[in-house]
Amino acid sequence: MVYDIGIIGGGIVGAATFYQLQRRYPHYKIVLIEKEEILADHQTGHNSGVLHSGLYYKPGSLKAKNCIQGREELVAFAKEHHIDHDVCGKVVAAASVEELPFMDKIFEIGKQNNLPGIEKITGAQLKEIEPSVEAIAGLWVPQTGIIDFRSATAKMVEIALSKNEESKVFLNEEVIDIIHEDGIQNLITPKQRIRARYTIFCTGLQADRMAIKDGVEIKEKVVGFRGDYYELNDHAKHKVKNLIYPVPNPDFPFLGVHFTRMTDGEIECGPNAVFTFKREGYGKTDFSMKDTMDALSYKGTWNLFFNNMSFGINEYRRAFSKKLFLKTLQRLIPSLEMKDLKPGRSGVRALLLSPDGDTRDDFRIVSRNNSIHVLNAPSPAATASLAIGSEIADMAVEHFNI
């Protein structure tokens, strides 16, 4: 069989692309190929489970546009298909006077991104929402929520498959080569040769490698950063009602350690952000020679290290010290104690890193001949997934002439 479209990567972006394309074109035979035994087993299944509002992203950017549109679509999808979620809102808490200008800046971004209901609140108002937090001021962001991204991914694929009995999902099959032959793309796995007229790559932590394998010229490289979480023990869960974020440091390319109530009732604290020696390594000592050499032979990695030296050192210290991690958490919730915390899970975030060490690239989706590549889709890609899937579908119409 020759499929009309092959999608490589079974995270939520690949699933949403499958879902959007199959809904539009139910007569198309589409195949989704995932190298793991289950869907959503990397970034999607290891993220914080937050439905992002669009608060932090540059107005007019793909991140801002797709996050806001995608969040609305994903909430509607979750309601329709009974996916666990809760649009509970979040607070952004300023712990010091020095943070107020940065808080004002993200408030203005939120207003420019047309987030209704966002407001500045006093420390006293914030304490009414989150009684355990000590802050001098904050923001209330009502659009933010939580969701079970794994279940959402599975439901998208289930619906897509129901549209065409000839469409398929192959799990536990890694595409190791791509051979272009007579207008057909042969996607080679250790088990079989899957033939498709057009291919869409949604491969996350492997996006740069798959692009190069397909002949795409890119100057950037994907570098992975692991984020470790702690969880609150049952006796301390009352200290966090919903979502609590710090004011992000504009000099650091991550949002900082925050508190998240998950859909299963657990409370996560984290993540930190440390360079990982294995792109898909979730343990603190996981190591891949290939991934390590790939990252450390790239000048962008070293520029990122040098540009964020003090932050990077502090993140590594916290990764191996529960006491230091707790100290960071106590900036917002001083009553937390060592006994309140237990080790949680970890995730790895793919960053498309420029040669000068800049991590702030927007979502990036490019086309080449009969392929489309999602080169960069960091947070808030899970929230934005349905909007990204629609954008890819639009690109497919234009570039594949479907």
Q: By residue range, what is the domain housing residue 262?
A: 222-357
Cα(375)–Cα(352) distance, rounded to whole angstroms? 7
Residue 138, beta-bridge partner list: 93, 121
Residues 237 and 186 in one domain: no
CA 53 to chain centroid: 13
Residues 137 and 189 in one domain: no
Cα(274)–Cα(45) distance, rounded to whole angstroms? 19
More confidently predicted of 241 and 305: 241
Domain with 8 in it: what CATH number?
A: 3.50.50.60
Residues 294 and 341 in one domain: yes
The answer as to whether 299 is a domain residue is yes
Residue at which a domain ends, from 142, 164, 183: 142
Phi, psi (deg, nearest 5) at residue 394: -65, -45
Residues 271 and 340 in one domain: yes
Q: Summarize pLDDT for 103-125 with one digit per residue, the tens.
A: 999 999 999 999 999 999 999 99
Residues 34 and 134 in one domain: no
Residues 117 and 37 in one domain: no
Residue 311's pLDDT band (boundaries 50, 70, 90)? Answer: confident
Q: Summarize pLDDT for 8-37 with one digit per residue, the tens.
A: 999 999 999 999 999 999 999 999 999 999
Share of the chain above pLDDT 70, in %: 99
The answer as to whether 63 is a domain residue is no
The answer as to whether 279 is a domain residue is yes
**Mean local confidence (pLDDT), 54-75:** 96
Residues 36 and 165 in one domain: yes
Q: How many domains does the chain have?
A: 3
Residues 6+ apart with CB under 8 A from 158: none
What pLDDT does residue 204 have? Answer: 96
The answer as to whether 242 is a domain residue is yes
Residue 250's pLDDT band (boundaries 50, 70, 90)? Answer: low
Residues 239 and 256 in one domain: yes
**Mean local confidence (pLDDT), 308-312:** 76
Residues 311 and 394 in one domain: no
Residues 197 and 329 in one domain: no
The answer as to whether 376 is a domain residue is yes
Residues 235 and 317 in one domain: yes
What pLDDT does residue 210 have? Answer: 97
The answer as to whether 247 is a domain residue is yes
Domain with 240 in it: what CATH number?
A: 3.30.9
Residues 168 and 269 in one domain: no
Tokens of 372: 């489309």
The answer as to whether 54 is a domain residue is no
The answer as to whether 65 is a domain residue is no
Cα(322)–Cα(269) distance, rounded to whole angstroms? 12
Q: Summarize pLDDT for 331-389 with one digit per residue, the tens.
A: 999 999 999 999 999 999 998 999 999 887 799 999 988 999 999 999 999 999 999 99
b/e sequence 228-250, b meaning 16+ C-beta within 10 Å = bbbbbeeebeebbbbbbbbbbee
Tokens of 253: 């390319």
Q: Summarize pLDDT for 158-187 with one digit per residue, the tens.
A: 999 999 999 999 999 999 999 999 889 999
329 has pLDDT over 70: yes
